[in-house]
Structure 1
């Protein structure tokens, strides 16, 4: 590696993409193209970065397998940041295997982080957790340590293990300070805000108040019957009954949970479940059928009983009933939650992450656009969607150690 390439790689490692470009901007050899691509990605020009890295991959000779693998890892990082979730994961797995075989455990660990981050984005939490449990990270430089701890924190947050999340974020903050990369520090600070921002609304006994994730964890361990309107489940402790595929039953369960310890009139239940303002005997017959289905579905956790005016929900035992609702009731809350990370998403990536059809996601985006809650840029397949109120941060260091030919 010549002196300019070495200096450019060190500039990138310290979070100085402009300094790296000053040294290699006019060069078209393979190592320079790779470093230019990483620098452009750090500056936010992901399209140009992707093109440069593809050129670098082609320019490296067939014997330079480790350099080519590093370029693949950088492309995977760009795909993740640009929410190209259909990017071929097998290529990343192969690149990680090459890096491990050549002893580049730092970049292999970075590739592992990308795999887990993608699994978190698309909701495959069990698989992400299994990978983390089986992975023993090697001694890593500060930037890589921070990225790894952010992945650990992400899993802990989604599992509602707030103590583990706080500990991982503290380690990530320490590593980010040692790395002294502003974009990485900003990413850690943004991740930490999740634990300091109200995550849900608690509805109990006719009152509402916001809850932090730590308070949600405490509530779920308290033995209360929780009607979770964020995941569309009803649970007591570790016993969970999912109604995500039965929206009418969940609407009834939520209405009954919000009214506890009172009951809910039949007319209110008809509107909540069927949006029926003017009812007839067919509506009332359907309500009786759905209440019967709800009674069977929740029989291990609670009773659904008829009253003079309607129906009431009561738990087995003496526990309370509470409802957890999103911070803001919004028809397309799941789409907004994904866009809330500040990155630009394609409609196809949103569909993959939500497990929904592309047409369903597009209808949601069109409605949110009409309401002024999202914005788009680009045309055709290049169109990307963002939540306009959420500021973005520069992407972090793509490859945490000097790139080619070292």
Structure 2
């Protein structure tokens, strides 16, 4: 490594891309192209950064596999920032193995951390946890060490483990301070704001109030029967009944929870379940069928009592009932929660994170754009979507996550 390349690399490691550019701005050899690409990424010109890194990777070729793998790794990190979660990030695994084979433990660990970060973004928490478990954070560069603990914070928040989240966030803040890089300090500040922000609304006894994550955790462990409208589940402590993919049943359960301890009329339940303005006998027959299904499914936690005018939810034992609702209700709340991270997402990345079809996401984005809740820029495959100012977001309870384990 020549003197100018070494000086540029040191400047980049210190978060000083302008000094690095001064060293290699006029050079076209592969190491200089790679360093210029990283510098442009730090400055914020991500499109040019990707092009420079791709040129460097092609120039290194098969003759220098470790240098080529490092370029692929840098491009994958840019792809994460751009929320391009598809093909580019599929190269992370092979790049990590190449780096491990050549003894570059630091960059191999960084690749594993990026894999964990991608898994977190698309709600694959077990994969993210497994990736972190395989890593020793002390091997990582200081900046990546901060990112490691931010991923751990995100996992703990999605799992509703407040103390674990706070502990990981403290370590992320400490790592960010040691780097002295302002952007990392800002990222930890955003994570701290999310941890302190309302994560849900508690609706009980005809009243509602916002809850932070620690209060949500306390509610779940309280023994109350919680109808969780953020994740479409019923739960009491460690007993969980999922109603994901069964929107009619969950809509009925939510209506019953909102009214508890009072009953809900059949007419109201028909409107909730079938949006029937004028119900006929077929609607009433369908309601009886759906209520029978709901009664069987929720039996471990509650029963349904038929009343003169409708139905009432009857929790087992002496448990009270609480409804946990999103901070902001709406048909596309989960999509807005993803967009509210402040980054620009492609529709394909959103579809991957939401585990739905691209066309479903595109229709939702078009509806949100018409309502003035999201904006877009770029055309074709380069189109990206960002959230307009949406109060009450983001909430970790709306982001993709597997069902809690009983």
TM-score normalised by L of structure 2: 0.93
Q: Tell me, what secondary structure is at the counterpart of 1:62? A: helix
CA contact (8 A) 1:203 1:209 kept: yes
Q: Tell me, what secondary structure is at the counterpart of 1:60? A: helix
Q: Does 1:33 align with 2:36?
A: no
Q: Does 1:168 align with 2:168?
A: yes
Aligned to 2:283: 283
Tell me the distance in 2 between the aligned counterparts of 1:250 and 1:281: 22
Aligned to 1:301: 301
Shift, 1:363, TM fit: 0.8
Counterpart mapping for 1:10-159 below 5 A? 10-159=10-159
Aligned to 2:332: 332
Tell me the distance in 2 between the aligned counterparts of 1:143 and 1:86: 24
CA contact (8 A) 1:249 1:294 kept: yes
Tell me the distance in 1 between the aligned counterparts of 2:126 and 2:139: 26
Count of residues paired in the alignment: 390
Tell me the distance in 2 between the aligned counterparts of 1:22 and 1:184: 24
Q: Does 1:236 align with 2:236?
A: yes
Q: Does 1:192 align with 2:171?
A: no
Aligned to 1:351: 351
Tell me the distance in 1 between the aligned counterparts of 2:195 and 2:297: 33
* Segments of 4+ moved more than 4 angstroms: none
Q: Tell me, what secondary structure is at the counterpart of 1:279? A: coil
Tell me the distance in 2 between the aligned counterparts of 1:362 and 1:263: 39
Shift, 1:325, TM fit: 0.7
Tell me the distance in 2 between the aligned counterparts of 1:27 and 1:110: 27
Q: Tell me, what secondary structure is at the counterpart of 1:376? A: strand
CA contact (8 A) 2:304 2:311 kept: yes
Q: Does 1:264 align with 2:256?
A: no
Tell me the distance in 1 between the aligned counterparts of 2:26 and 2:313: 71
Higher relative contact order (CA 8 A, sep 6+): 1
Aligned to 2:377: 377
CA contact (8 A) 1:76 1:87 kept: no
Shift, 1:388, TM fit: 2.7
What is the root-mean-square deviation in Å for CA atoms of aligned residues? 1.4
Tell me the distance in 2 between the aligned counterparts of 1:133 and 1:218: 27
Tell me the distance in 2 between the aligned counterparts of 1:2 and 1:228: 59
Tell me the distance in 1 between the aligned counterparts of 2:154 and 2:261: 36
Segments of structure 2 that go 5 or more residues without pairing to the other structure are: 391-406
Shift, 1:136, TM fit: 3.2
Q: Tell me, what secondary structure is at the counterpart of 1:240? A: strand
